[in-house]
Amino acid sequence: MSHILTRRRFLIGSTLGATALALPGCDMLDQNTDIANVLRSAERLTMKAQRLLQGSHALAREFAEADISPSFRVNGTSAPDSDEYAELSEGKFKDWKLKIDGLVERPQEISLAELKALPARTQITRHDCVEGWSAIGKWTGVPLASLLSLAFLRPTARYVVFHCADELEKTLDGSGRYYESIDLIDAFHPQTILAYQMNGQDLSIGHGAPLRLRVERQLGYKQAKYIMRIEVVDSFRGLWGGNGGFWEDRGYEWYAGI
Ligand SMILES: Nc1nc2c(c(=O)[nH]1)N[C@H]1C(S)=C(S)[C@@H](COP(=O)(O)O)O[C@H]1N2
Ligand SMILES: [Mo]
C-alpha cells in the first residue's frame, strides 16, 4: 500500500512539473510557491494516509539474524571532518555527551556509559535509501521515548531535532551541517531508538559513532548519524533552511515514509 502512495506522490509531482514547463512567461516565483504548497499538502496526505492505514504505532517489519546483510554500505558522511570529533573518537567517546535541550523542563547531558546503562532495545530492520539501495542491519540502543521522559517535554513541544557532528556540504555559514527532525508520534514510537551498536558491535565511525537515530518507518536520510545534541522545538523556523533537515532544505520531503 505504501508503494502505491509513494508512486502517487511522484505522479502528482511530475504532473505539476509538466504544467510548470508548459506555461513559460508566467510569474515563476508565484508558480513555484504554489507547486511547493501542493507538494507539501500531498506529503501531508501521505503521512496522514500511512498513519490512518497502519496506525500510529504500527511497527516496521523486523527480520531474523539470518537476514542481516553481509555488507551494509556507508552513505553520506563517512567520518565527520572536525578536530572536535577527531578528539572525541580518539578518546573512544569517553568525553562525548549527548545534550538534550530546547522545550524541556530538565535539560540533560548524558555520557555514552550512562546511555548504555539504560534499558535497551534491539531490532533487525531494513534500511532503504532514496538512492535505491537497501540493507538489513541489527541495531541496539535506547528508546528515544525514555530519554524524552527524563527531560520532561514542555506543553509546546512539537518536534525533536537531531544535531549532528558532520558538515555534509562545506558552506561558509555552517548551513551544510547535517540535522534531522521527527514529530512526537515518531519520537515516542517503540522502534525509534538512539543506537550505539550495529550488528552486535559498537557503531563504527562510518555508520555514525557514537550514536545514531533509527526511525524505522522512514527512509535512510532520516537516520541521523553522529548525534551530538537533541533539541525539542515547536517549529523549524530559525533552524538553518527552516525545513527540518539537511536534505529537506535541499528539496527532499520532511516525512519520508516508506
Ligand atoms: N549525520 C549524517 N547522518 C546521515 C547521513 C549523513 O551524511 N550525515 N546520511 C544519511 C543517508 S542518505 C543515509 S542512506 C544513511 C546512511 O547510513 P549508513 O552510512 O549507516 O549506511 O545515513 C543518513 N544519516
Ligand atoms: Mo540515503
- For residue 16, pLDDT over 60 is answered with no
Query: Which of left, alpha, beta for 200 (phi over 0: left; psi -120 to 50: alpha)?
Result: left
163 lines ligand 1 (CB under 6 A): no
What is the per-residue pLDDT across 67-77, written as a single tens digit (0 to 9) for each? 999 999 999 99
Cell numbers representing residue 164 in the block: 549532528
The answer to whether 227 and 166 are in contact (CB under 8 A) is no
Q: What is the pLDDT of residue 52?
A: 82
- 168 in contact with ligand 1, CB cutoff 6 A: yes
pLDDT in tens, 201-253: 999 999 999 999 999 999 999 999 999 999 999 999 989 999 999 999 999 99
pLDDT of residue 32: 66
Of the pLDDT bands very low, low, confident and very high (cuts 50, 70, 90), residue 5 is very low
Q: Which ligand is nearest to the CA of 77?
A: 1
Q: What tens digit of pLDDT does each residue of 130-157 get?
A: 999 999 999 999 999 999 999 999 999 9
Tell me which long-range contacts 106-110 makes (C-beta under 8 A, separation of at least 24). Answer: 106/150, 106/151, 106/152, 107/151, 108/147, 108/150, 108/151, 110/147
Domain map (residue ranges) of the chain: 1-55, 60-250
Joined together, the cell numbers standing for residue 151 give 527531560
Predicted TM-score (pTM) of this structure: 0.86
Is the CB of 230 within 6 Å of ligand 1? no
Ligand 1 atom, smallest distance to 247 CA? 12
pLDDT of residue 41: 79
Residue 222 Cβ inside 6 Å of ligand 1? The answer reads no
Summarised one tens digit per residue, pLDDT across range 185-199 is 999 999 999 999 999
Asked whether 181 and 229 are in contact (CB, 8 A), the reply is no
pLDDT at 35: 73
Question: Mean pLDDT for the chain?
Answer: 89
CATH of the domain spanning 60-250:
3.90.420.10
